[in-house]
């Protein structure tokens, strides 16, 4: 492993805005589960969760825009989270935290109703058929999210990948989810929206190559019998 990565992994231990629970299937629920408001944020403000947050560009930008809300970014890449923690610390943002773990274990970290909103920004589209069940918007993951969010919570998706986006639209329709807003070209349809104008590292790369950015917002409302 490169020395630079080893340095970043070591530095992660020095930040007070990062949590690194054991990353295994049989691990116990995380001690912060059900206590994010009291043990970290010190308020009852709504929590927005960003999944696959990378370097934390969205979580950090939204935390600065909305000091009356709390934000948690989650990713497994330690070097990326090092950049996120460093940026949030340097900006003195007390309303943002990060979790280093795999998203498939999401239910270990939050109780039902603890999360108000989810952002999924430029996830791996998992285009190969056998891997599509690992998509962060798949039936399996949506039901995991249901176990941590408030009823009818808002979920946002941003991606440059057209096949993944169209599959997602079809899945949400099949599951009778309420898509509130959809665009296949964010910067043509909503150029003045400050939230949608936030760019992650990957979005910057894709946009520079001429890719259009797709976005949708929907309400997560899954009946138990629909699983």
Q: Rounded to the nearest 5 degrees, what angle is found at the Cα of 148, between the Cα atoms of 163 and 87? A: 75
What contacts 95, CB < 8 A, 6 or more positions away?
41, 45, 63, 67, 69, 70, 71
Rounded to the nearest angstrom, the gap between the alpha carbon of residue 113 and the centroid of all alpha carbons in its chain is 16
Catalytic annotation, residues:
124
Q: Which two structure tokens, joined as six digits, stand for 97?
A: 């935290």
Q: How far apart are CA 73 and CA 51, in angstroms?
A: 6
Alpha-carbon torsion (32, 37, 40, 46), positive or negative: positive
Eight-state DSSP code of residue 16: S
Is the backbone of residue 126 left (phi > 0), alpha (psi -120 to 50) or beta? left
Nearest Cα to Cα of residue 25 among 115, 91, 97, 104: 104
């Amino acid at each position: 492993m490169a020395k630079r990565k080893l340095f970043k992994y070591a530095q992660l231990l020095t930040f007070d805005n990062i949590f690194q629970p054991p990353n295994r299937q049989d691990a116990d629920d995380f001690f912060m589960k059900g206590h994010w408001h009291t043990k970290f944020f010190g308020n009852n403000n709504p929590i927005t969760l960003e999944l696959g947050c990378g370097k934390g560009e969205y979580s950090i930008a939204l935390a600065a825009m909305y000091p009356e809300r709390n934000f948690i970014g989650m990713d497994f890449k330690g070097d990326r989270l090092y950049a996120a923690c460093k940026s949030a610390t340097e900006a003195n943002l007390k309303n943002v935290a990060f979790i280093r773990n795999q998203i498939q274990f999401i239910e270990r970290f939050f109780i039902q109703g603890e999360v108000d909103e989810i952002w999924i920004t430029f996830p791996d589209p998992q285009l190969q058929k056998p891997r599509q069940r690992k998509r962060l918007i798949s039936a399996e993951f949506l039901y995991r999210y249901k176990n941590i969010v408030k009823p009818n919570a808002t979920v946002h998706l941003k991606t440059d990948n057209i096949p993944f986006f169209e599959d997602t639209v079809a899945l949400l329709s099949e599951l009778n989810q309420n898509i509130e807003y959809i665009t296949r070209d964010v910067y043509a349809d909503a150029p003045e929206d400050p939230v949608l104008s936030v760019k992650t590292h990957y979005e910057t790369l894709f946009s520079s190559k001429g890719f259009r950015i797709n976005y949708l917002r929907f309400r997560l409302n899954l009946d138990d019998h629909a699983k």
